[in-house]
Structure 1
Amino acid sequence: MNATPAETSGSALRAMGGLHFSKGHGTGNDFVLVADPEGTHSFDAHQAAALCDRHQGIGADGLIRAVPSRFLPEGRELLVDTPGAEWFMDYRNADGSLSEMCGNGVRVFVHFLRTEGLIDLPDGSSLAIGTRGGVKTVVRTGNDYAVDMGPWEFIFPGEASAKAMDSLVAADGLEVPRPALSVSMGNPHTVVALAELAELAGTRLFTAPKVDPVPANGTNVEFVVPAEPLVHDGVGSVTMRVHERGVGETQSCGTGACAAAVAIRHWAGAEAPDVWRVHVPGGVVGVKFFAGPGGHEHVELSGPAVIVASGTLS
């Protein structure tokens, strides 16, 4: 007789009895965080999903393990070129699947390292963090954190450069599929522009939108409404909702906010600004474009990070 999902979840949680954890969020995008300075706590997909279960676990959009980079093959690779990336953000989505990285998560990750006393990061100082999406540099700015998310790129460059759209997205609540643009921020995103806030509110994200063509590893889908006017005092503004692959709708998505700004800026043309405010259900994040190494345009994500609770699994 096969075990029920509840029995599987309960068994996974019991196996982790005594585990110390914290709960944190960045603009409502929430995470279970575990410090593993000795590299002794590895989590499989079932354990991660059990911890993130909102009814029978702690509840979160993802699980973050803070582990020294030297304990992971991916981390050791990054240390070759960036020896300062001593800490690795080992991240799993709420369904237990591995993910490249998370823009809100990396801010919360650094704040967690500070609150646990694992790093000293004075205001204005920066820290290199290893992720499966490469090394990310995080700067503390008072109570907030700014992350160099690295370069962005089109997932389907030929189609995007020729048409400004490269796919169609169908979602519950939208009468017809909408044109979209797929952007990589180290993880995949597909951005749909909507005409008004009422249309955004009426889009139902209980189930995953259907994307055609879908990027090779799936995609996160952002639905975005540009402000009217789009630019005020040199700053662009948009409102966004997101369905994250492996999670569902979330209060915020850092890489998704960056991808949304990339797409709207691309559609707006050459006069579009380099600084953006992205309004999400959980708050507001900042996105800034700047010239990075090698002539590649980079994206910076800024916003708050909060630890709300700590505890031990019974």
Structure 2
Amino acid sequence: MHKKIKFFKYQGAGNDFILIDNRNGFFDRKNETLIRNFCERRFGIGADGLMLLQDTKNYDFEMIYFNADGREGTMCGNGGRCIVAFARDLGLIQNKTAFLAVDGDHIADIYGPQVNLGMINVSQVTQESDAYILDTGSPHYVKIVEDLKNFPVYEEGYSTRNNNIYGTNGINVNFVEKEGEGYFLRTFERGVENETYACGTGATAAAMAMAIHENIEGDVELPVRVMGGQLYISFHKEGNIFTNVFLKGPATFVFEGEIQSI
């Protein structure tokens, strides 16, 4: 029996997501084929990922995130901001929230179209030749490059993501360059297996890597421009320890509809 599933489409700086209100638990989260088909841009709705908003104790809601390949993923920063906007639009919250995600609890504040999302603390950063490796809810590889506008992000990102070190579990590969008072970032995302217009955990990782690279200490806010817009990352830094981490940027409703399940 085919049934129609109501969905909502949101985007955060060009990182686009399918949102489904699953508080009644009807959606089959184990159906990777269904999720992959929904995210497919030519035969489905089209998105970088899909999220379920679910009930959970002690929090406003729980965020369950799936990559475009249909598999349940690690934390998605732009997705987190979009699901906060979705929860507001559903009337679950007003301008503040505390919710649960795969990497633990998160808080967020909403200022019109901007969502300021609390991220996990980071205390482990390693260097591999000229790159920084860290986990901001998802694992990231951050490399500083020149002429990023013309840099072969797909080719270099694909190569690093699938090499002998990272090929088994995958890693998100970020290329960053200084730009005025901030930075320009492009990201090859695992799970999407391509460059995306934005990556929230990647922007967070890039800002931390640049703060280490430039020996910036204390309370910091760094602007990071991505292909789809402007993000701002703030944190308190002592050495390689980052606390009070926030990712701020737009989270916008695009459209809603119904799609037939399989």
| 1:184 equivalenced with 2:135 (yes/no) | yes
- Contact 1:153–1:185 (CA<8 Å) still a contact in 2? no
| 1:209 equivalenced with 2:171 (yes/no) | no
Quick one: distance in 2 between partners of 1:98 and 1:25? 19
- 4+ long deviations beyond 6 Å: none
| 1:88 equivalenced with 2:62 (yes/no) | yes
1:106 paired residue number: 80
More helix by share: 1
1:116-174 Cα distance to aligned partner (Å, 9 max, x none): 23x1314xxx21111111111111123211011020233xx5xx3xxxx225xxxxxxx
Residue among 210, 213, 229 paired with 1:283: 229
Residue among 78, 102, 121 paired with 2:94: 121
| 1:130 equivalenced with 2:100 (yes/no) | yes
Greater RCO (Cα-Cα under 8 Å, separation 6 or more): 2
Residue among 215, 224, 239 paired with 2:176: 224
Q: CA deviation at 1:86?
A: 3.4
Quick one: distance in 1 between partners of 2:218 and 2:88? 37
Q: How does 1:1-314 map to 2 (within 5 A)?
A: 17-43=3-29, 44-69=31-56, 79=57, 83=58, 85-117=59-91, 119-122=92-95, 126-154=96-124, 157=125, 160=126, 165-166=127-128, 179-197=130-148, 200-205=149-154, 208-210=158-160, 211=163, 213-214=165-166, 217-228=169-180, 231=181, 237-247=182-192, 248-270=194-216, 274-290=220-236, 297-314=243-260
Quick one: distance in 2 between partners of 1:273 and 1:139? 19
Quick one: distance in 2 between partners of 1:196 and 1:270? 23
- Gapped runs of 5+ residues in structure 2? none
Residues 204/187 of structure 1: CA separation in 2 closer, same or farther (3 Å cut): closer
CA RMSD of aligned residues (A): 2.3
1:155-204 Cα distance to aligned partner (Å, 9 max, x none): xx5xx3xxxx225xxxxxxxxxxx3111110210000100233xx42314
Residues 101/33 of structure 1: CA separation in 2 closer, same or farther (3 Å cut): same
Quick one: distance in 2 between partners of 1:253 and 1:112? 19
- Gapped runs of 5+ residues in structure 1? 1-14, 70-78, 168-178, 232-236
The letter of the residue matching 1:302 is K
Quick one: distance in 2 between partners of 1:143 and 1:212? 41
Q: CA deviation at 1:271?
A: 5.5
Q: CA deviation at 1:45?
A: 1.3
- Contact 2:153–2:195 (CA<8 Å) still a contact in 1? no
The letter of the residue matching 1:214 is Y
Quick one: distance in 2 between partners of 1:220 and 1:309? 28
Q: CA deviation at 1:57?
A: 0.6
Identity %: 32
1:45-89 Cα distance to aligned partner (Å, 9 max, x none): 1111010001111000000011112xxxxxxxxx5xxx2x23111
The letter of the residue matching 2:150 is A
Quick one: distance in 1 between partners of 2:151 and 2:146? 12
Quick one: distance in 2 between partners of 1:272 and 1:205? 35
Residues 101/127 of structure 1: CA separation in 2 closer, same or farther (3 Å cut): same
Q: CA deviation at 1:213?
A: 3.1
More strand by share: 2
TM-score, scaled to structure 1? 0.75
1:82-102 Cα distance to aligned partner (Å, 9 max, x none): x2x231111100001111221
- Contact 1:152–1:298 (CA<8 Å) still a contact in 2? no
Q: Matched residue pairs, number? A: 253
- Contact 1:265–1:272 (CA<8 Å) still a contact in 2? no
